[in-house]
Amino acid sequence: MREEFVSILEALDESALSGYDFRQLAMDQLSFLDEYKWSGVYVLVGETLFLDAYNGDAPEHKEIPVGRGVCGSAVSENRNKIIEDVRTESNYLACSVLTRSEIVVLIKQNDEILGQIDIDGHKVGAFTSEDEAFLSQMAQRLADRWD
Ligand code: SME
């Protein structure tokens, strides 16, 4: 795994925070990565995703129904999503006109979806399976200290 990814996971492991503060620390750490232009956590309550900790501009979509957009469809399809170019995605909710690519990684505990990490990038194809592997490790840490 890339050294900067390892450093971020180490920073999380060294922190004593939990819950929202821990999730905010994680999103703030992601802002140091060049391609990560907006980073946020959405928490799943019933059939709705609610915006939780984030780093970047306040987004328009603070509540997203399951099935809507990239975020909502990740939940309804129970899988992570990597969108190379959001302009080709029909089920997409725009938060910034600058966004070109997006990755959503589910946060799960014992097969239950707690929420998700959502990242926007400004370049086409900014995120790969390497980002997914890194964010999956972050998601497990967030789940372990969910509160
Ligand atoms: N693009 C997402 C909405 C969330 S914003 O990117 C922060 C979607 O299509 O669900």
> In sequence order, which residues have a C-beta less than 8 Å from that of residue 54 and are 6 or more positions away?
27, 38, 39, 40, 41
Q: Provide the pLDDT for residue 12.
A: 98
Q: Provide the pLDDT for residue 130.
A: 98
Question: Is the overall model pTM greater than 0.85, yes or no?
Answer: yes
Question: 């492991």: which residue's tokens?
Answer: 13
Number of neighbouring beta carbons within 10 Å of residue 97 = 6
Closest-CA residue, ligand 1 atom 6, reads: 95
Closest-CA residue, ligand 1 atom 1, reads: 93
HSE of 143, CA atoms in CB hemisphere, 13 A: 20
* Ligand 1 pocket member 115 (CB < 6 A): no
Residue 23's nearest CA partner among 4, 42, 10 is 42
How far does the centroid of ligand 1 lie from the alpha carbon of residue 14, in Å? 30
Per-block average pLDDT, block size 10, for the chain (147 residues)? 97 98 98 98 98 96 98 98 97 94 98 98 98 98 97
Q: Provide the pLDDT for residue 49.
A: 98
How far does the centroid of ligand 1 lie from the alpha carbon of residue 127, in Å? 15
Q: Provide the pLDDT for residue 77.
A: 98
pLDDT digits (tens, 9 = 90+) for 120-135: 999 999 999 999 999 9
Q: Provide the pLDDT for residue 56.
A: 97
